[in-house]
Amino acid sequence: MKKIKTLLLLLLVSVSYLTEAQKIRVLHPSASNISDEASMMLYNRLNQAASLNGIASTDNSNKFLMIPSVVVMSVEPTTTVPVRYMAEIEISVFIVDNSRKLLMSQETFVKRGVGDNENKAVMEAVKALNARDSKLKKMIAIGKNRIVEYYNTECETVVKTINTYLECGMVEEALNELHAIPQIDENTGCYDNSLNILSKISQEQQNAANDKIKNENPDVSWINE
């Protein structure tokens, strides 16, 4: 009986979490001067941070994105024997509404690492960014709040835009907006509307459009303008 109660409690917690979760796509770092291993580590670290802060990672919408950028500021040999290398990097993280080309929140982190070679030193510097970092947590919270505010005030406009896309046969654009709508306790109406619209799109159309969205490399060049 005790086990059953525990399982029910865990289920309730899971449901509560899901109803609060917002959806965002984390992109791989835009940096050619770090290794694939370091890039993947940062990608995984940011996905972990998003999850810890109530955001569900998604690959079926490119509307809300978490975009990391890495600049290797310096890599210098140490004066020790054997020689090691010390790297200093700058990690910038942005949460954006890519459909509206709008910056929701951002933060920059300077991290250092030491390794047996330059790549390992950079890897250690990337590793120094903790998924539970307080600055990272605050940045995500700001982004989440602005997303909630957006749907609380603009839901009617969002729904009209989605319906216009569908009337024009632009299923991919419609789903890109639909899949981004969060299921939040404060305002279930917008999410319920999204489900009603989704039910009108055939599964075949959804599958085809979702595949295109998943394989799409979002254009975020506007951030640097």
What confidence score (pLDDT) does residue 33 get? 78
The structural domains of the chain, ordered by start, are 22-219 (3.40.50)
pLDDT per residue as tens digits for the range 39-68: 999 999 999 999 999 888 888 899 999 999
Nearest to 180 by CA among 68, 59, 93: 59
- Is pLDDT larger for residue 181 or for residue 106? 106
Residues paired with 96 in a beta bridge: 65, 103
Nearest to 147 by CA among 97, 93, 100, 186: 97
Nearest to 70 by CA among 24, 119, 22: 119
How many Å apart are CA 161 and CA 38, to the nearest integer? 39
Which whole number is the average pLDDT over 191-210?
90
182 exposed, middle or buried (CB, 10 Å; 0-12, 13-18, 19+)? buried
The CB density around residue 102, as the number of other CB atoms within 10 Å, is 12
Q: Of the ranges 8-12, 34-38, 70-74, 127-131, which one carries the lowest mean pLDDT score?
A: 8-12
Nearest-5° Cα angle at 217, 212 to 218: 100
Nearest-5° Cα angle at 31, 219 to 221: 20
Which whole number is the average pLDDT over 1-26?
50
What confidence score (pLDDT) does residue 187 get? 58
Given a cut of 60, is residue 3 above it in pLDDT? no
How many Å apart are CA 123 and CA 128, to the nearest integer? 9
Phi and psi for 208 in degrees, rounded to 5? -65, -45
Q: Which tokens in the block code for residue 93?
A: 């993280």
Inter-residue contact 93 to 68 (CB < 8 Å): yes
Nearest to 88 by CA among 68, 70, 66: 70
Q: Which tokens in the block code for residue 39?
A: 């890039």
pLDDT per residue as tens digits for the range 78-88: 999 999 999 99
What confidence score (pLDDT) does residue 97 get? 97
Residues paired with 102 in a beta bridge: 97
Which whole number is the average pLDDT over 130-136?
97
What confidence score (pLDDT) does residue 45 get? 96
Given a cut of 90, is residue 37 above it in pLDDT? yes
Inter-residue contact 161 to 149 (CB < 8 Å): no
Instruction: Quickly state the pLDDT bin for 7 (edges 50, 70, 90).
Output: very low
Given a cut of 80, is residue 16 above it in pLDDT? no
Which whole number is the average pLDDT over 152-161?
91
Highest mean pLDDT among 123-137, 151-165, 172-186: 123-137
